[in-house]
């Protein structure tokens, strides 16, 4: 739709005036491909999003049928190695069963390389936007790539979830990697090392789109005004595929931990927190969050603030994915490798960054842009 | 209560760690006096606030009866010259009728000077915390003190409201002046000039305590994420004396204009805004605000955010008044005169400052402190 | 859409099981016509409602283009006599200027009669769904039809607004009349008398679709639990044409008075109430209401309840209009004339009924149906 | 406080005008005693409720110290037989360990009889207001008293929780029994039989005080307007002792099941429902509930309603306990025995009643009163 000029660049951080001089890639410069484990078509999904969930005008989708079909043709089967049972059950029967993590990585990397070559691309940015995996057993992952690499041959022994296999495939092939989910991805030091070794870059994790964005905006206010937050409850309800996957307690654990952490980092004292995520089918992609913040002010007087957020989940996430791709590409042009910490404002759990206040994170982005 | 160590310094910005090195005045250093037009006692008012409005534990007040009586003894009758009809009607019959603005100023200044001498104070900071006056006719106020000064003899000709007379009394006497309300105070250039002429300082205006604080925290989020705010509705209900005064449309006009302006300053495009303030007696000092923010995201998808804020109005304001006094006193020690722009984060309509994002304003305070 | 079976009868009270035995008119039995002062087409308006305001799937509208065009052909120019300035300014220039109330009534009745004859109808039910008029000067309206009738010749002397002229046209012609708005319509005794004289029937007024429906459901709960409602604040925002008309204080006065009254009728003591209605363009047909209810419970403990209602105004109203037509038609078949009080549950200000509890009103409907 | 005339009878259903002619017992007629397993004093608890949780004015409590001490003197140690681990852990070490259900029942009954005799009472109404027990294994409870009675000797074999032992003690001794909690109490047929056998009466269960009351008021509105409720989410947070007990999943299960059932009974089709209850310590007795109701209206248009309820849990419950005692006493005077179904409006899960609409339940109470 952006390519065809059907919509304004609303929601795109990279289209703000203060980033114009960086000359982010244009929509014409960009080609979309990917991996998928379900047997779906993008046009069908987009129509469902627009008609069933009322996310946007279906006529916009109908005008982009050709583009969506072209992208579909560039989508290859993903891997279900170590995705956890709930996600594995969603896979199409045609998805190949990889014999080892190494085999999976090789297959995925071949797809990425072929995609780059076929489309004549200078730079591939692999973004993980798949459903949240169960918490990985990070204790079992060695700290260096030299130690981790030999484990890839044995599916039973290798503790890496699918998201990390994609990360290895991408970084090992010199592509950039962005983790938009709380899954493990390139979080392990050993995998981050791979980015450096191959002169490429990565960032993550977990796109900060709605309720957690609000937390990173509101919590600093309480801290700066020396108001004492006693409890912060966040209740999230929605009914899309992500919600369905998060209905599995193992997958939900990963997500809740990512949503919950930052309050203790921003506030001087850890308040009692509670985050719940419930799959409510009728809501579809419309994530509704209710936050209740209980705090004391002067003389110990208890006060309360409540927030209701009604946002369309995919629509909030989509422009940030494009932003991350564009900013990562600018970093490549500037010769930056390794972990891209200037992208912290986009993530719930920014790798390598202890600053959780959204304004300070955004300022870091602006400062990077101004350099 | 602070002096007696009955309460923690919650809600006091000046007690945050990052300002400790500035050595703000201790509670023991401070003496409270003032002007008042009503026939009330502080103990009665504090008990009413604690019992009727459940603002804080009445036992805290009971322990401070002596201090409150001592403060009462230092409170002198204020002026009702040009306060507008609604406020004038609240005045005690003993409040003297000043024959001209000049006479009023002389009387108020004499009180201030006597207060300083009597209590052996190095520095008096006069803070306007009186009810909001009707909008003044600023067109009629000349730009320089030399032109304004002669107008003070004629009550009918002089366009200055009471708040400006207090400001002139304070600044003319070398005291500092802080305007915590949207009333005119020291806003006119001619009065600001007086601060410079007398080597003293002032700041304002309108303490940013609740709903507007939220606006200055949330609006930057929408701007930075390039989300298009279409409308922002704020509905405020409360039942204290301030609310009663604001029930007069002439007084409300001053307040609404101060609450409403900043959105257009922060957001790239002016959204439709609506601010209402209604006097609902049962709520007492508990100001409840409901904000509804309607915005479009990616692909033009409309989304909504709602906030409910339940705060105790006086309790939110009180620590900021103490903060302003302490920071103004530090500025005096540092030899700073004129308009104190580093205090912008405390005000809805900061004089001399175009930055309305709370985080940037707060950063300015931290930078000033770090100098 | 109902005729074509494109949608389920959701939202239609007359389609509930307990009313099935009454055999309400089928959609095939019904023919739609009307009066309109604007130069619009129904298809355009329906598409705008579906596309711009996201009220329903535009594909549903597209399938009904023929029906909408047929209805358009049966719509005749209305009258702008005494509609108030704000509404008059919306009129198409082709709308005829009636020389007197009597002339207007004659023209409107001729349209109604022609419509009935042309479509071969047994029964015409005229429903007022036009924008709210300014408050009429009811003091000047005589109590009997004999006294009122002669006033119709003089536009300047006749105090009747347009809604009452339509009512007289309908009732005088033996048609039924339903007032779905707070405008005057058939409220005056003298016009109600006309229904009796002509063996026809009427009901009103002001469709109870959203916030007021909630009040009539929630207020009885407080009364029955002996909870003491101290204040009830209702803040309504929306951006459709109705909202635009209500932006005129004269028109809003009529509406607010209808929305506000029932609390004092249901609750044992009149609480402080406040109703505001604001035109917020971006919301279109999506009326969002925030209600704040402040009450005391046992031992005088103050508590609060807040409600946010996000409903599509036209979509809430439309099925009730169909219900009223069907129930009125059943009343005709049963030979009932005069004021139809059993329809009270549909109205904010039910004529001739003092019961405002929704459940009791609904029970009256069920009892009538069971007779 | 009522006895001393310190407060108005707000929140008391039995004090409504329509029940005056029944001459409910006066506060002077009533004497309070009870069983308790914790080592607490009523005065301390009441002061904590008033000071820490701000439930009511502490000065009210201070004036009632003598009465509270007298009640304390009438409180005997309860039983911890089959209360579940979480509750058992709260017991004071002095609470006697009963050797068998029969021994416990005998001890409790002796206390009740002694209480009645000592205070010279005509009628004892035992109300279960203890913390919610884990779900009982009802399959193992025989249908008749004759079969159940012999099981009382063997603690291991007897499936009855403590609440049922109190019920048996009360009903077996000819006292009335009211179950204000979702615990089992007199729910089993065999125990209800005991009421009949002893010419006494019982009712239950689970006092309908807040969020569920709202459900039983709002759900009928959706049903009567033929609006299609797709999902109803209720999120409850509070921090009193009840909340602490419900933090144990086994105890929570009992409560959630009672809160959740009625929607399916009132609405024509079971919507997706979700009820959560979380222990948030800072809230104390202030239960805050957020309900999100997602429904479709005409043409399938999805709409939403949200409710926030901020009520003081004990303060909502207390007057209903008094109401139940008074109405049960009136039933005794009228000679009514067995299950008192006319009390349905007071309960989330009314025994023997299928009607869940609050208005119809209340009407049943009024009709009973009018007989």
Contact yes or no for C227 and D306 at CB 8 A: no
B308 touching D, CB under 8 A?
Answer: yes
| Secondary structure class of D103 (helix, strand, coil) | helix
Q: Which of residues 14-53 of D touch C (CB under 8 A)?
A: 15-16
Determine, for residues C311 and D299 on separate chains, whether the beta-carbon distance falls below 8 Å: no
Q: Where does the pLDDT of residue D213 fall: very low under 50, low under 70, confident under 90, or very high at 90 and above?
A: very high
Alpha-carbon distances of B22 from A190, B325, B330, B333, rounded to whole Å: 45, 13, 7, 10
pLDDT greater than 80 at residue D269:
yes
pLDDT at C261: 82
Domains of chain D: 13-207+315-370 (3.40.50.720), 211-312 (3.30.360.10)
User: According to the model, what pLDDT value does residue A237 have?
Assistant: 94
User: Given this model, what pLDDT does residue C177 score?
Assistant: 98
Residues in chain B: 371
Contact in structure between C95 and C80 (CB atoms under 8 Å): yes
Q: What are phi and psi of A351, to 5 degrees?
A: -65, 130
* Positions of chain C with pLDDT under 50: none
Give the mean pLDDT of B341-368: 97
- Residue with token string 């397993």: D37
Q: Does B258 score more than 80 pLDDT?
A: no
Chain D touched by B282 (CB under 8 Å): no
Tokens describing residue D298: 């005409």
* pLDDT tens-digit readout, C79-127: 999 998 888 999 998 899 999 999 999 999 999 999 999 999 999 999 9
Backbone angles phi, psi at B289, to 5 degrees: -120, 135
D2 to chain A nearest CA, in Å?
29
Nearest to A272 among D272, D282, D294 (CB): D282
Q: How confident is the model at residue A52 (pLDDT cuts 50, 70, 90)?
A: confident
How far apart are the CA of C68 and the nearest CA of chain D, in angstroms?
16
Residue (of C46, C41, C66) closest to C56 by Cα position: C46
**Euclidean distance between CA atoms D246 and A21, whole angstroms:** 57
Summary mean pLDDT of chain D: 94
Q: Most D CBs within 10 Å: which of B49, B58, B303, as the mutation test of the D interface?
A: B58
CB contact under 8 A, B282 and C272: yes
Report yes or no: D221 at the C interface, CB cutoff 8 Å.
yes
Q: Which residue of A has its CA nearest to C60?
A: A51
Q: How far is A307 from chain C (nearest CA, A)?
A: 12
Q: Are B10 and A57 a contacting pair at CB < 8 A?
A: no
Measured between CB atoms, which of C54, C59, C308 is closest to A54? Answer: C54
CA distance B55 to chain D (A): 10
At A26 the pLDDT is 97
Across the interface, which of C51, C57, C308 has its CB nearest the CB of A51? C57
Is residue C270 less than 8 Å (CB to CB) from chain B?
no
Question: d(Cα D197, Cα A228) in Å, to the nearest integer?
Answer: 59
Q: Which chains touch B (3 or more CB pairs under 8 A)?
A: A, C, D
Q: Which residues fall within 8 angstroms of residue B217, CB to CB, at 6 or more apart?
A: A217, A218, A220, A221, B358, B359
Residue A231 C-alpha, separation from nearest chain D C-alpha, in angstroms: 7
Three-state SS at C45: helix
User: How does pLDDT run across A66-84, given as a tens digit for each residue?
Assistant: 999 999 999 999 999 999 8
Confidence of residue B115 (pLDDT cuts 50, 70, 90): very high
Residue of chain C minimizing CA distance to A52: C57
Length of chain D: 371
Percentage of chain A modeled with pLDDT above 90: 83
Query: Considering the entire predicted model, what is its pTM?
Result: 0.95
Mean pLDDT of A41-47: 93
CB–CB of D319 and C226 under 8 A?
A: yes
Predicted pLDDT of residue D11: 97
Provide mean pLDDT across the span B80-87: 90
Kindly state whether A302 is in contact with chain D, defined as any CB-CB distance less than 8 angstroms: yes
Q: How far apart are CA A160 and CA A136, in angstroms?
A: 7
> Which residues of chain D make contact with C8, given a CB cutoff of 8 A?
300
Which pLDDT score, from 0 to 100, does residue A245 have? 82
Contact between C294 and B280 using a beta-carbon 8 Å cutoff = yes
Which pLDDT value is given to residue C193? 96
User: In which band, very low, low, confident or very high, does the pLDDT at D350 lie, cut at 50, 70 and 90?
Assistant: very high
Which residue from B230, B274, B282 is facing C231, i.e. has the nearest CB?
B282
What's the pLDDT band for B155 if we cut at 50, 70, 90?
confident
- Phi and psi (nearest 5°) for B137? -85, 85
Most confident range, picked from B83-87, C326-330, D94-98: C326-330
Question: Is the Cβ pair D56, C220 closer than 8 Å?
Answer: no
Indicate the burial class of D4 (C-beta count within 10 angstroms; 0-12, 13-18, 19 or more). exposed
**Tens of pLDDT along B190-207?**
999 999 999 999 999 999
Biggest CA-to-CA distance, chain C:
67
Are residues D296 and C10, on separate chains, in Cβ contact within 8 Å?
yes
Q: Report pLDDT for A19.
A: 97
Percent of chain A with pLDDT over 70: 100
Mean pLDDT of D233-252: 86
End-to-end C-alpha distance for chain C, whole angstroms: 32
Asked whether B162 and B79 are in contact (CB, 8 A), the reply is yes
Q: Give the mean model confidence (pLDDT) for residues D304-323.
A: 96
Closest CA of chain D from A312, distance in Å: 14
| Chain A residue nearest residue C54, CA to CA | A54
Has residue D254 got a pLDDT over 80?
A: no
Q: Which residues share a beta bridge with D276?
A: D235
- Shortest CA gap D243–chain A (Å): 14
Task: With cut-offs at 50, 70 and 90, classify the pLDDT of residue B177.
Answer: very high
Tell me: pLDDT of D17 over 80: yes
CB A235 to CB D276 under 8 A? Answer: yes
**CA-to-CA dists, residue C348 to A305, C22, C216, C262, C279, angstroms:** 33, 25, 9, 8, 21
| Contact at CB, C225 and D218, closer than 8 angstroms | no
* Partner residue facing B217 (CB), from A217, A227, A300: A217
So what's the pLDDT on residue C256?
A: 79
What's the pLDDT tens digit per position in A114-129?
Answer: 999 999 999 999 999 9
Strands C201-204 and C228-238: unpaired
Tokens of A99: 């014999």
Q: Which pLDDT score, from 0 to 100, does residue D115 have?
A: 97
Chain B residues with beta carbon closer than 8 angstroms to that of D54: 54
Lookup: tokens for C345? 């549950």
Among A283, A285, A287, A300, pick the best mutation site for testing chain D contact (most D Cβ within 10 A).
A283
Distance of alpha carbon A370 from alpha carbon C295, whole angstroms:
55
Residues of A whose CB is below 8 A from B227: 10-11
Q: Is C308 on the interface with A (CB under 8 A)?
A: yes
Task: Quote the percentage of chain D above a pLDDT of 90.
Answer: 83
Question: What percentage of chain D exceeds 70 in pLDDT?
Answer: 100
What pLDDT shows up at residue D250?
Answer: 83
Whether residue C214 contacts residue C196, with contact meaning beta carbons closer than 8 Å, is answered with: no
Q: Do B54 and D54 touch (CB under 8 A)?
A: yes
Sequence-distant (6+) residues with CB within 8 A of B120 are none
Residues of chain C in contact with residue D308, where contact means CB-CB under 8 angstroms, are 304-307
Strand ordering across the sheet containing A338-339:
A125-128, A176-179, A201-204, A338-339
Distance between first and last Cα of chain B:
32
Mean pLDDT computed over D92-108: 94
The verdict on a CB contact (< 8 Å) between C294 and B308 is: no
Closest residue on chain D to B52 (Cα): D57
Chain C residues touching B240 at Cβ < 8 A: none
In chain C, residues with a C-beta closer than 8 Å to the C-beta of D8 are 300
pLDDT per position as a tens digit, A174-204: 999 999 999 999 999 999 999 999 999 999 9
The token pair that represents B89 in the structure block: 């009607």
d(C-alpha A225, C-alpha A231), whole Å: 16
- R_g of chain C, CA atoms, integer Å: 21
């Amino acid at each position: 739709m952006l390519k065809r000029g059907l919509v304004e660049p609303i929601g795109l951080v990279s289209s703000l005036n203060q980033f114009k001089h960086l000359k982010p890639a244009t929509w014409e410069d960009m080609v979309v491909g990917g991996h998928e484990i379900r047997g779906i078509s993008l046009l069908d999904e987009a129509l469902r999003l627009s008609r069933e969930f009322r996310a946007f005008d279906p006529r916009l989708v109908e005008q982009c049928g050709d583009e969506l079909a072209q992208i579909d043709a560039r989508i290859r089967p993903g891997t279900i190695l170590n995705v956890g049972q709930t996600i594995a059950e969603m896979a199409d029967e045609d998805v190949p069963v990889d014999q080892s993590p190494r085999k999976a990585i090789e297959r995925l990397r071949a797809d990425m390389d072929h995609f780059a070559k076929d489309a004549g691309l200078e730079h591939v940015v692999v973004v993980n936007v798949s459903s949240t995996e169960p918490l990985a057993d990070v204790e079992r992952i060695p700290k260096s790539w030299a130690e981790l690499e030999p484990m890839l041959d044995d599916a039973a022994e290798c503790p890496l979830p699918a998201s990390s296999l994609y990360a290895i495939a991408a970084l090992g092939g010199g592509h950039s990697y962005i983790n938009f989910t709380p899954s493990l991805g390139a979080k392990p030091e050993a995998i981050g090392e791979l980015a450096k070794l191959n002169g490429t870059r990565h960032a993550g994790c977990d796109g900060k789109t709605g309720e957690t964005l609000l937390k990173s905006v509101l919590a600093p206010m309480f801290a700066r005004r020396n108001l004492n937050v006693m409890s912060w409850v966040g209740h999230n309800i929605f009914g899309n595929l992500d919600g369905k996957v998060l209905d599995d307690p193992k997958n939900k654990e990963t997500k809740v931990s990512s949503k919950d952490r930052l309050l203790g980092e921003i506030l001087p004292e850890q308040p009692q927190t509670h985050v719940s995520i419930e799959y409510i089918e009728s809501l579809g992609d419309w994530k509704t969050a209710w936050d209740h913040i209980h705090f004391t002010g002067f003389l110990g007087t208890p006060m309360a603030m409540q927030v209701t957020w009604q946002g369309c989940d995919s629509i909030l996430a989509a422009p940030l994915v494009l932003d991350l791709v564009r900013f990562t590409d600018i970093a490549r042009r500037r010769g930056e490798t390794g972990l891209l910490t200037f992208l912290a404002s986009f993530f719930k759990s920014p790798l390598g960054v202890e600053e959780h206040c959204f304004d300070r994170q955004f300022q870091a982005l602006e400062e990077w842009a101004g350099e």
